[in-house]
């Protein structure tokens, strides 16, 4: 892009300055970040499985907040679901799950021995992340036990992973625990206008069409893009 020159006035108390600003180049944020990554190495440590992106910021308390973006492929997934609260009844449902992203936010406070997993935010996407990943649209994952009607973090309940493990192993293990845990009717999603009535209906349609997830009309996520989600998680509680 051609060099641009702008003139403007700056009033500072009883002084007025005529200033000139020169913009030598304008590039897209994604291109800038890609060039920055090539020129300035970042010590990421060992990353969790299927980690596609890592973001690190420092908050006002000088704590390090690291967000790992984990991508999981679509396909048939068997879940355990309790349809009646405080009941021993458990249904095994095989669902055609969409491609998903899991935003794992970790925090390290100076003086602590290790970072902790603060929360985990899921979302669904239609295709694998590519070079323009920051612009990737996000949709809700139509599963229960997710705060803010599908727009928030997963309710971890009594899930726990020891802090003794390295952070990449803890993330792998807690995601595995989430997927294999007993889902229940707390915080049920809204299925209106999605093409499915409930989880049982989803399982029934998945039995005859393993790619049924492609036909579901997923609600847009409150954080509409991957970049928007990263901004939200970096700013929250800062």
Give this prediction's pTM: 0.80
pLDDT band at 32 (very low <50, low <70, confident <90, very high): confident
Q: Name the residue among 176, 191, 72, 166 with its Cα closest to residue 128.
A: 72
More confident residue, 25 or 65: 65
Question: Mean of the pLDDT values across residues 123-140?
Answer: 94
Of 1-5, 96-100, 234-238, the least confident:
1-5
100 within 8 A of 121, measured Cβ to Cβ: no
Task: Say which residues have a Cβ less than 8 Å from residue 38's Cβ, sequence separation at least 6.
Answer: none
What local confidence, expressed as pLDDT, does residue 34 receive?
67
The pLDDT tens digits of the residues spanning 72-97 come to: 999 999 999 999 877 889 999 999 99
Q: Is 41's pLDDT higher than 80? A: no
Rounded CA-CA distance 71/99 in Å is 7
| pLDDT, tens digit (0-9, with 9 covering 90-100), for 192-226 | 999 999 999 999 999 999 999 999 999 999 999 99
Q: Give pLDDT, residue 129.
A: 94
Domain boundaries, the chain: 45-235
Tokens 């290790």 sit on residue:
114
**Cα(6)–Cα(20) distance, rounded to whole angstroms?**
6
Q: Which one has a higher pLDDT value, 31 or 196?
A: 196
Report pLDDT for 236: 66
Helices (H), the chain: 29-39, 167-180, 199-208, 226-235
Residue 26: which pLDDT band, with cuts at 50, 70 and 90?
A: confident
Q: What is the pLDDT of residue 72?
A: 97
């Amino acid at each position: 892009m051609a060099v641009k020159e702008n003139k403007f006035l700056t009033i500072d108390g009883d002084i007025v300055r005529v200033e000139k600003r020169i913009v030598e180049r304008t590039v897209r944020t994604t291109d800038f970040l890609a060039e920055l990554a090539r020129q300035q190495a970042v010590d990421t440590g060992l990353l969790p499985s299927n980690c596609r992106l890592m973001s690190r910021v420092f908050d006002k308390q000088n704590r390090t907040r690291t967000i790992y973006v984990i991508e999981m492929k679509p396909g048939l997934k068997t879940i355990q679901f309790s349809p009646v609260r405080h009941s021993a009844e458990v249904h095994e449902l095989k669902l055609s799950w969409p491609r998903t992203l899991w935003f794992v936010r970790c925090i390290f406070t100076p003086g602590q021995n290790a970072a902790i997993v603060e929360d985990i935010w899921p979302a669904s996407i239609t295709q694998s992340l590519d070079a323009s990943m920051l612009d990737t649209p996000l949709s809700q994952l139509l599963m229960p036990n997710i705060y803010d009607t599908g727009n928030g973090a997963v309710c971890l309940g009594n899930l726990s992973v020891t802090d003794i493990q390295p952070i990449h192993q803890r993330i792998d293990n807690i995601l595995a625990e989430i997927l294999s845990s007993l889902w229940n009717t707390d915080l049920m999603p809204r299925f209106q206008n999605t093409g499915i009535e409930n989880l049982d209906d989803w399982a029934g349609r998945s039995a005859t069409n393993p790619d049924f997830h492609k036909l579901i009309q997923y609600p847009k996520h409150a954080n509409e893009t991957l970049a928007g989600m990263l901004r939200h998680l970096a700013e929250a509680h800062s």
